[in-house]
Amino acid sequence: MITEIVETNPMRALRIGKVVVNIGVGASGDPLDHAQTIMEQLTGQKPCQRFAKQTIRGFNIRKKEPIACMVTLRGESAETFLVKALAAVGKKINSHSFDRWGNFAFGIKEHIDIPGTRYDPNLGITGMDVIVTVERAGYHIDEKKHARGKIGKSHKVTPEESMDFVKSKFGIEVGVANE
C-alpha cells in the first residue's frame, strides 16, 4: 500500500534525514582523544565534543568538562555508514527502538564489529550509539524563518512506515524484545 502512494505522490517517499553517531566516554583526556580518533576513522568527519551539564562527584565529572564526542552524517555518507553499522548488529533491530515519529536508535558494543575496522591496541575498544532520523520531503518547513508552516498529521512518519522502509531499503529484521 505504501509503494502505491509513493508512486503517485513523491512527497510521501521516505528517506534517511541524518545519522548521529555518539560515543560517551565519561572522562576527558586520553579516553576522549582515542574515541575521537576512532570516530574520525569510521565516519571520515571530525567529531565535535560534548560537555557535561552538571557536576557529579561520584563519577569525577565536572560541569562543562568534555566527556563525549559526536558526528552528524547526512546524505550518501549517512547511508553508507548506516549499512556498515547495521551489519555490526547482525541486521536486527528491536521494534522498541523506534519512537512515535519513526526515528530509531541502536547501540554497537564494540567498534571493531563494524566491517572494515581493524583493532588498534593504542586506541582500545569502545562502543557507540547510532541514532537515525527518518523523514519525508518538506519536513523542514517548521524550521524556516520566513513562511514557516506546520507538518500535517498525515505527513508525519509512523513507526510502522519507518519499519517497512528500513526493512525494504536495508534488508534488516525488526523483531520484538526477548527473541
Domain locations along the chain: 16-175
Provide the β-strand partners of residue 15.
Answer: 135
What's residue 2's pLDDT? 56
Residue 155: alpha-carbon gap to chain centroid: 22
Residue 46 is predicted with a pLDDT of 95
For the domain covering 16-175, report its CATH number.
Answer: 3.30.1440.10
pLDDT at 138 (0 to 100): 81
Q: Which residues of the chain fall short of a pLDDT of 50?
A: 179
pLDDT tens, residue by residue, 29-49: 898 999 999 999 999 999 999
